[in-house]
């Protein structure tokens, strides 16, 4: 049994850092897709407060040359799972986070409308941590129970819904291992 629960759209326990980069979902739009992302800021570096700053619109462009390219972007995710397994929530699940951008799944565009976005602190050229897989599977199990239209087959990578534009969570994300953890909890 998992230790996570959802109360009024917020995951507990998780650190909550509300993002201004979200809005209402369209009426009568059921959540039926979970999108797994990978992020590191600056690219290839882990830890620090940069991801929080990006998602909460407080990233200072002067803090790193790369930040000059991305400061001011209005992006967010519902959750971030850090390398050590810490979970941060930026947007409640009942609201639309701005994580997918131009995207398409099963013939439907605008995946932000009907999806939950979970970022893993990582990058395309390094393996993710075992604890990140365990936490993702724990949270995935809770989401599957909470949102009846969501299924294991509807858990995809950002690269699956934005091919050619996005590569995350990348080739080092072990889908077989993740799915085995998810099935073991069902």
- Residue 119 a catalytic site member: yes
Q: What is the mean pLDDT of residues 115-133?
A: 97
What value does the mean pLDDT of the chain take?
Answer: 96
For 49-95, how does the pLDDT look when each residue is reduced to its tens digit (9 = 90+)? 999 999 999 999 999 999 999 999 999 999 999 999 999 999 999 99
Q: Are 12 and 130 in contact (CB under 8 A)?
A: no
Catalytic residue among 45, 86, 109, 119: 119
What's the confidence (pLDDT) of residue 2? 55
Residue 47 pLDDT class (50, 70, 90 cuts)? very high
pTM summary value: 0.97
Q: What is the mean pLDDT of residues 141-155?
A: 97
- With a cut of 80, say whether residue 186 has pLDDT above it: no
Residue 105 pLDDT class (50, 70, 90 cuts)? very high
What's the confidence (pLDDT) of residue 1? 45
Specify which residues 34 forms β-bridges with. 116, 155
Domains of the chain (ranges; CATH) run 5-185 (3.40.80.10)
């Amino acid at each position: 049994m998992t230790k996570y629960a959802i109360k009024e759209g917020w995951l507990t326990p998780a650190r909550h850092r509300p993002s201004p980069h979200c809005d209402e979902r369209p009426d009568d739009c059921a959540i039926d897709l979970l999108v797994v992302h990978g992020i590191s800021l600056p690219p290839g570096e882990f830890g620090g407060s940069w991801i929080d700053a990006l998602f909460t619109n407080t990233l200072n462009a002067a803090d790193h040359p790369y930040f000059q390219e991305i400061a001011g972007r209005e992006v967010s995710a519902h959750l971030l799972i850090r390398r050590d397994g810490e979970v941060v929530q930026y947007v409640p699940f009942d609201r639309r986070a701005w994580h997918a951008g131009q995207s398409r799944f099963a013939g439907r565009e605008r995946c932000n409308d009907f999806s939950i976005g979970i970022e893993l602190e990582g990058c395309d050229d390094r393996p993710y941590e075992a604890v990140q897989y365990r936490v993702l599977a724990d949270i995935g199990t809770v989401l599957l129970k909470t949102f009846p239209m969501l299924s294991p087959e509807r858990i995809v990578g950002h690269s699956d819904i934005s091919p050619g534009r996005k590569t995350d969570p990348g080739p080092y994300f072990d889908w077989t291992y993740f799915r085995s953890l998810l099935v073991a909890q069902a």
